[in-house]
Amino acid sequence: MIPVLETERLILREYRLEDFPFHVAMYGDPATMQAISDSFKAFDEEQCWLRFLRNIGMWQLFGYGWWGLEEKTTGHYVGTVGFFQGRRALEIPYRDAPEAAWMLAPDRRGKGLASEALRAAMAWGDANIAASETWCMIATKNIPSQKTAERFGYRRAANTNYKGEEMLTFLRPRGG
């Protein structure tokens, strides 16, 4: 069962099939993917579908996963936030801890929605995920996401190379 969380402007809830076109638009946007990482290219529909299914399956396998973000005023899917197991090909000691991530649709950025969603997700994670820490990975050039991570208690842990690009990893102990 995927918990439903509410904030002032968002409902964090399970993914729904009707979210998929918006998911494709978000991950298929070249500017969005470029902002995340130089090595990430816009996803095609098949890649989006596999990611969409992965995000749903995390809940069943691990008891945590990604929420779809529904904007209360419009009822639209506007992004995603949560925790996952990416099995990334990285040599860092915390690779198998839950990894936190977030993404908003391009037209919803800069309005505080990521922080609002993360506040709810982190509180839920602190109360429900047994791991002593979570981590996230952010491109060196993605300063806004680095600042967001730091506001939620993530601290720089290590530089790493992921798919040919230098990335920063951040660790956060349970409770921030």
Number of domains in the chain: 1
CATH number (domain holding residue 109): 3.40.630.30
Collapsing DSSP to helix, strand or coil, 169 comes out as strand
* Range of the structural domain that residue 29 is part of: 5-173
Render pLDDT for 111-162 as a digit per residue (tens, 0 to 9).
Answer: 999 999 999 999 999 999 999 999 999 988 888 899 999 999 999 999 998 8
pLDDT, mean over the chain: 92
Q: What distances in angstroms separate CA 156 from CA 136, 137, 170, one per listed residue?
A: 9, 10, 4
pLDDT for residue 40 is more than 70: no
Sign, CA dihedral 78-86-175-157, equals negative
Sign, CA dihedral 31-37-38-43, equals negative
Of the listed ranges 28-42, 48-62, 93-107, the least confidently predicted one is 28-42
Q: Is the distance from CB of 33 to CB of 40 less than 8 angstroms? A: yes
Render pLDDT for 55-77 as a digit per residue (tens, 0 to 9).
Answer: 999 999 999 999 999 999 999 99
Render pLDDT for 18-27 as a digit per residue (tens, 0 to 9).
Answer: 999 999 998 8
Helix/strand/coil (H, E, C) string of 31-47? HHHHHHCCCCCCCCHHH
* pTM, 2 dp: 0.92
Half-sphere exposure at residue 22, Cβ-oriented, CA atoms within 13 angstroms: 21
